[in-house]
Amino acid sequence: MPQEEARRLPRSLVNFLRDLAIAFLLVAIVFGALFVFARTWPPMVVVESGSMQHSNAESFLGVVDTGDIVIVQTAPRRQDIATYVQGRTVGSSNYGDFGDVIVFQDPDGPPGRWIIHRALVFLAWNETANGFDIPTLESLERGRDWDSSAATPFGLVSGDTVTLMNVGFRPNTDVMIRMSDFFNDLNLTDCPASCEGYVTMGDNNAPGYDRDLVFQNLILGRSRGELPWFGLLKLTFAGPFAWGDARAPANSWSALTVSLILLVAGPIGLDVGFSLLAARREKRAVNPDEQEENAHPEADEGPPEDDEETPAK
């Protein structure tokens, strides 16, 4: 009795399952690499507002715009974050200005509500003076880069102010920080952990800084790298945006549309090209004699020889 032939899955289904497995593998590799780099979860956040934009009408690569996906790297220690003042001292910039952009829990919001702003200065607690120290200001020139109502940037109390000069992408923008805004945040029984932190500000909000002190334990991490525009997909399908929403720059929507078309058309074009190449190779394999004949045409035999004998003279 002949052995029954085993059933085989259709070739199209096999190809689909293979492509699906490859897609899942690539996604796992990408997220694994992101987690190794970021060492925090989530390793990415979607920017939902324009507080960090450098234009209200246009987005730019290298600037944090509405709809961008930003990669977040853990920064558990004070030494992991360079403030605007420190970045200005050494000429180090991120996302179009000095210092680090950090992602932190909204001090007044529900858990999981993240804010992405630039760290301007770190206010260190001075227990002796019951005030704040900003020692990093000493590396800049007073009167040109900063000024203060106090004689020194040490032991700043509630009535003191510190002014950072020419801050941000807008010309001649000074940010005057009032120490009184942060004394309400203090819990003197748990100093310095709850008595010192970062003064933050959105680039697009200057000269208005955030009135809540950002403690180290509120920080998810520092921003490192971005995937522009693609966060608009999340904002569209999960809310609160509609496609083409004016809260995101128009050129971001245009760039996203072109990117999606290329992402769809690119694999289709490659698939068609490989199919045509495979069909051509298959045709050559089916007609090897024809290919051989075309490659080696028979040589001309020349005129036939005369069989008659030549008579002797």
pLDDT in tens, 109-130: 888 899 999 999 999 999 999 9
Split into its structural domains, the chain has a count of 1
CA distances from 65 to 92, 134, 225 (A): 20, 30, 12
The answer to whether residue 273 sits within a structural domain is: no
Inside any domain, residue 231:
yes
Residue positions counted in the chain: 313
**Is 68 a domain residue?**
yes
Among residues 212, 209, 177, 180, the alpha carbon closest in space to that of 197 is found at: 212
Is 43 a member of any domain?
yes
CB atoms within 10 A of CB 17: 11
Give, for all 313 residues of the chain, the pLDDT tens digit.
455 445 566 766 777 777 778 777 877 787 777 777 777 777 889 999 999 999 989 999 999 999 999 999 999 999 999 999 999 999 999 999 999 999 999 998 888 899 999 999 999 999 999 999 999 999 999 999 999 999 999 999 999 999 999 999 999 999 999 999 999 878 888 888 788 999 999 999 999 999 999 999 999 999 998 999 999 999 999 989 999 999 999 999 999 999 999 887 777 777 677 778 877 887 777 766 555 555 555 555 555 555 444 444 4
Instruction: Give the whole-angstrom CA distance, residue 183 versus residue 226.
Output: 35
Instruction: Indicate whether 311 belongs to any domain.
Output: no
Closest to 85 measured CA to CA, from 64, 100, 69, 66: 100
Regarding beta strands 97-98 and 101-105, do their DSSP bridges make them parallel or antiparallel, or are they unpaired?
Answer: unpaired
Q: Is the dihedral of CA 209, 210, 211, 215 positive or negative?
A: negative
**53 occurs within a structural domain:** yes
Q: Where are the beta strands (DSSP E) in the chain?
A: 44-46, 69-73, 93-94, 97-98, 101-105, 114-126, 131-133, 146-148, 161-164, 175-178, 197-201, 219-227
In a domain, 5, yes or no: no
Domain residue limits at 186:
34-259
Assess if residue 50 is contained within a domain: yes
Identify whether the C-beta of residue 217 lies closer than 8 Å to the C-beta of residue 224.
no
pLDDT per residue as tens digits for the range 171-215: 999 999 999 999 987 888 888 878 899 999 999 999 999 999 999
What's the alpha-carbon Rg for the chain, to the nearest Å? 34
Q: Which of 86, 53, 75, 70 is nearest to 223 (CA)?
A: 70
Record the pTM.
0.78
